[in-house]
Amino acid sequence: MRLLVVAATGFELLPLKAYLDRHFIQKDPDSFQLGDLQLTLLITGVGAPATVYALTRMLSAFRFDLVVNAGIAGAFDHSVPLGEVFNVKADTFADLGVEEADGSFQGIFDLQLGDPSAPPFREGWLVQPQQDEMRFLPTATGITVNKVHGCAESIAKIKKKYPADIETMEGAAFFYVCLMEKVPFLALRGISNHVEPRDRAAWDIPLAIERVNEVLTGLLGSISGPQ
């Protein structure tokens, strides 16, 4: 089996890398093997453009049986505990459009600049076909933005516009490329913060990274067998 694990930044995969160093044979700086399982790591850089470019190049050069996106996210629901890990079932580009004179936002599908049901979209959303593969995880709907929300007014507007559970800067880009390339994929996100007026002191990035990497190593264990 050929598996690709994708993250925006290297530090989001540091625990996984430590696990691979202990249990897998390193073939080159980003590739590892254990039996029939071949695993490649891809660090794309932050944001949708970097994700689209790096992932498209990789999938154009190599074929994979499964592509997994892992990283951190902000949760809109304040009852969600930090460190919770979600299997993202759908995502969309939430700030691709225009701001009207009254401050309201119209997306490209609102403006009829695209067909919301033209592949790979389904009614304006990018939907993960294999969402039942991680049944032990709660599922979430995500939105992808170029500017994360950090003030009460903009947070209220985006929550009214999109019925989403989490917010990232790369999710929809990952979905878009995988759907267009017709490769099976999963998207795993650990909650590092709540989407609220920006307060970095209230975030717990290390916990989110630890928890999402625990899911990743568990996934590898289920594929490769006990080590």
Number of domains in the chain: 1
Q: How far, CA to CA in Å, does 120 sit from each of 72, 123, 175? A: 24, 10, 9
Measured distance CA(99)–CA(105) in Å, rounded: 5
Give the model confidence (pLDDT) of 100-133 as tens digits: 898 888 999 989 999 999 999 999 999 999 766 6
Pair 89, 126: CB distance under 8 Å: no
Residue 64: is its pLDDT beyond 60? yes
Burial 70-96 (b: 16+ CB within 10 A, else e): bbbbbbbeeebebbbbbbbbbbbbbbb
Cα distance between the two ends of the chain: 17
Q: Which one, of 75, 94, 88, 85, lies nearest residue 166 by Cα?
A: 75
Pair 184, 66: CB distance under 8 Å: yes
Q: Which one, of 39, 46, 42, lies nearest residue 72 by Cα?
A: 46
CATH number of the domain at 215, please.
3.40.50.1580
Give the model confidence (pLDDT) of 144-166 as tens digits: 999 999 889 889 999 999 999 99
Domain span at residue 111 reads 2-224
Pair 89, 131: CB distance under 8 Å: yes
Residue 226: is its pLDDT beyond 60? no
Measured distance CA(54)–CA(5) in Å, rounded: 12
Residue 134: is its pLDDT beyond 70? no
* pTM, two decimal places: 0.94
